[in-house]
């Protein structure tokens, strides 16, 4: 892989105006903190790799995101990393440079993330063997939303049973209607982009 990938230049160029300075800043910061990092594109998003994924950034219609592949393994004494929805990366929904942590903090996270890969430390996901889970029926409210989004519906229907379950489980386990609505909107966004529920970790 090349250190700089022209596909990421194109990605930034096509991003919304608010997102361009955010993406450019992140890109410059990553390479400045770890010159050994190379760029690539996975699942349509810019990724920064060194002996495996280190971090990734993305631009959506109304926010940008920046996340670390092994976020839960990073030393974060100030509790800055957000472990919430994947579409918001590790630092929530970013709409301006002011939404990012300081350069000093980000550089520290980047250096830590590179060290995790250098040392072969696996992060985040733990696979636990067990019996297959029961199928979750499609709730009427999500079916109604999907019917209005043919592209998202087609992607969902094309998924394996396990990928379908990931979305249905996430949506049906929402504790409030507001959370459910937010998750369904995010699901439609990801499905339209061809992404599985846990795309960030694959």
Containing structural domain, residue 197: 140-201
**Same-domain check for residues 12 and 112:** yes
In a domain, 69, yes or no: yes
Bridge partners of residue 42, in order along the sequence: 45
- Say what the pLDDT of residue 127 is: 35
- Say what the pLDDT of residue 125 is: 40
**DSSP-assigned letter for residue 127:** -
**Same-domain check for residues 147 and 86:** no
From 118, 151, 180, give the residue that closes a domain. Answer: 118
- Say what the pLDDT of residue 1 is: 53
**Same-domain check for residues 145 and 191:** yes
- Say what the pLDDT of residue 29 is: 95
In a domain, 127, yes or no: no
Number of separate domains in the chain: 2
**Same-domain check for residues 105 and 31:** yes
In a domain, 44, yes or no: yes
**Same-domain check for residues 69 and 12:** yes
Could you tell me the pTM of the whole model?
A: 0.60
Are the beta carbons of 35 and 73 closer than 8 angstroms?
no
**Same-domain check for residues 105 and 19:** yes
162-166 contacts, C-beta under 8 A, 24 or more apart = 163/196, 163/197, 165/133, 165/135, 165/136, 166/196, 166/197, 166/198
In a domain, 131, yes or no: no
Stretches in the chain below the pLDDT threshold 50: 125-132
Question: Coil, helix or strand for 169?
Answer: helix
Neighbours of 85 (CB within 10 A): 15
């Amino acid at each position: 892989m090349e250190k700089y990938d022209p596909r990421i230049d194109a990605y930034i160029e096509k991003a919304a105006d608010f997102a361009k300075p955010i993406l450019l800043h992140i890109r410059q910061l990553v390479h400045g903190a770890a010159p050994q990092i190379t760029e690539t594109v996975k699942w349509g998003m810019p990724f920064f790799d060194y002996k495996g994924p280190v971090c990734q950034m993305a631009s959506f219609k109304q926010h940008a995101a920046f996340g670390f592949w092994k976020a839960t393994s990073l030393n974060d004494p100030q509790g800055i990393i957000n472990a919430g929805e994947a579409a918001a990366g590790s630092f929530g929904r970013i709409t301006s440079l002011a939404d990012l942590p300081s350069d000093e903090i980000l550089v520290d996270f980047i250096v830590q993330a590179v060290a995790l890969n250098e040392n072969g430390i696996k992060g985040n996901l733990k696979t636990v063997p067990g019996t297959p889970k029961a199928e979750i029926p499609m709730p009427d409210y999500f079916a109604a939303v999907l019917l209005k989004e043919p592209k998202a519906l087609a992607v969902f229907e094309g998924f394996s049973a396990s990928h379908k379950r990931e979305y249905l489980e996430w949506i049906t386990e929402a504790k409030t209607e507001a959370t459910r609505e937010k998750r369904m909107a995010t699901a439609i966004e990801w499905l339209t982009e061809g992404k599985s529920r846990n795309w960030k970790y694959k």
